[in-house]
Amino acid sequence: MRTYTMTRWAGLCAVAAGCALFAAPVFAEEADGTAAPADLATLQKRLDALEQQYASAAQCGQTCCQSLCCDPCHCPGVVFGAELALLRFHDSLGLANSYNDLEAAPRIWAGWTGAGGLGARVRWFDYEDTSSTSLVERVRLYTVDMEITDTFQLGAKWSGLLSGGVRYAELNERNFDFLKGIRYVNSGAGPVLGVELYRQVTNSISLFALGRESLIFSDESIGIDAGKTVVRPQNTTFAISEIQLGGEWRKPLQGTAYFFARIAAEGQWWGGAQVGVVDVGLVGVTAAVGIYR
């Protein structure tokens, strides 16, 4: 009988000790007011959320991070952006002195980002404006880029994207109000290099700066609308510089994709693009939405 009683008391003590160890953190948390005991439904919701996060990370790891050489991890997928810029035309000689309004100009890009952040994309931009009082009656600036891209990380707050490839650019003007019909075209292709830097402010808001530089090797032509060429200088060059400064809001999507909406100030400089010696430029604001990784 004594042996049974001692065994029984020993078992009860063990159970009581285990319950005390399990409950102590809960009661301690309640005592200092930092947390309250969660019911089973709340714990189940937290567990489900953790399982979803783990499944997403595991899927990304199986797809593109099978070794430690992939940092940061990127799941392959489509990238896309649609941008509307409101820009005003300028030139270094004041020939466009009546271009005082902001004109809408679309910019669209689409591509693919692969494992580890390496990808490719195509970008298209088109600006056009007219004036009835300026010596430059109509102007159109047009670019198409084909690029290789790569993402990178700088610490916990900074991230970025490098891009490089080939650009086709065209300046098309109808000049000289007193000689209607005369037009000037300067078009060609050359290398383009760009960098985008993002500085995280909160989990969903970042500041960013974007810069792009290209060298265009072209043929110039001054001609008549009917197609007859008057002058055609050969082997000319001009440079295009672009900069954007602004803010971005982002929302995580499936995997490592983000939906973004951004607004920025923008400036473009086309050095020597007009008649080989005149600089032209665009300045204004721009807004964009899209998906990146």
Residues 202 and 220 in one domain: yes
pLDDT in tens, 57-111: 555 544 444 433 344 556 789 999 999 999 999 988 877 777 888 999 999 999 9
Q: Note whether 245 and 186 are same-domain residues.
A: yes
Give the total number of structural domains in the chain: 3
Please tell me whether residues 1 and 131 are part of one structural domain: no
Same domain, yes or no: 100 and 204: yes
Q: Report the C-alpha gap between 10 and 53 in whole angstroms.
A: 44
Residue with the bigger pLDDT between 96 and 22: it is 96
SS3 288: strand
Counting every residue written for the chain, the total comes to 293
- Give the contacts of 239 (CB within 8 A, at least 6 positions apart): 213, 214, 215, 216, 269, 270, 271, 272
Asked if residues 76 and 63 have their Cβ atoms less than 8 Å apart, the reply is: yes
- pLDDT tens, position by position, 189-225: 999 999 999 999 998 999 999 999 999 998 766 665 5
Note whether 175 and 151 are within 8 A (CB): no
Higher-confidence residue: 84 or 130?
Answer: 84
Does 239 lie in the same domain as 134?
A: yes
Are the CB atoms for 73 and 118 separated by under 8 Å?
no
> Do 47 and 24 belong to one domain?
no
Q: What is the pTM of this model?
A: 0.73
CATH number of the domain encompassing residue 115? 2.40.128.100
Distance of CA 262 to the CA centre of its chain: 9
For residues 233 and 258, membership in a common domain is answered with yes
Cα 98 from Cα 65, distance rounded (Å): 56
Phi-psi region for residue 237, left (φ > 0), alpha (ψ -120 to 50) or beta? beta
Range of the domain at 101: 77-292
